[in-house]
Amino acid sequence: PLQPTYFSNSYALNATLDFAVVKNISAAEAVAINALPSDHNPVWFEFLLLNVLPIPLRSLTTTNWNRFQDIISRNIPGNPAINSIRDIEEAIAKFECGINTAINLSSKTKSINTVSQIFPLLT
């Protein structure tokens, strides 16, 4: 979300702790909800299913989450030095690259030959 989800009482630091990674959905929105007397706001994720992108090939991807976590912990710094907008952009690019690398190295995909089902939209 564009709003922070965590508000520190000890430090003058607010942060976004919650995020989602989506695939084959062209429109999604995340909103931090100030609904709890807490230092952490819950996040409402809304996915617009009318904009679901077609999946060209049916496949099953399995991920070794222990390996994923190991790769992430070795390759993504926990608190990069950020002193400028350029540093922010570089940190985001490295983070994105690290996530994609970890996914590629810890996941296996195989094709599935089944009939595609279309589920009705919930109203």
Structural domain includes residue 68: yes
How many folded domains does the chain comprise?
A: 1
pLDDT in tens, 80-105: 889 999 999 999 999 999 999 999 99
Tell whether the model's pLDDT for residue 110 goes beyond 80. yes
Cα angle at 93 between 91 and 95, to 5 degrees? 65
Residue 5: is its pLDDT beyond 80? no
Note whether residue 19 is domain-resident: no
Structure tokens at 46: 């809304």
In this structure, what token pair is assigned to residue 18? Answer: 């919650």
Domain-embedded: residue 117: no
Q: Which residue has the tokens 């630091």?
A: 13
Residue-wise pLDDT tens digits, 21-68: 777 676 777 877 877 777 777 887 887 777 666 666 678 889 999 999
The pLDDT tens digits of the residues spanning 7-29 come to 776 677 777 777 777 776 767 77
User: How deeply is 22 buried, as exposed, middle or buried, from its count of CB atoms within 10 A (0-12, 13-18, 19+)?
Assistant: exposed
On whether residue 78 sits in a domain, the answer given is: yes
In a domain, 4, yes or no: no
Please indicate, yes or no, if residue 14 is contained in any of the structural domains: no
Cβ atoms within 10 Å, residue 93: 10
**Would 76 be classed as within a structural domain?**
yes
Q: Is residue 122, in this structure, part of any structural domain at all?
A: no
Q: How confident is the model at residue 119 (pLDDT cuts 50, 70, 90)?
A: low
pLDDT at 67: 96
What is the domain range of residue 80?
Answer: 26-112
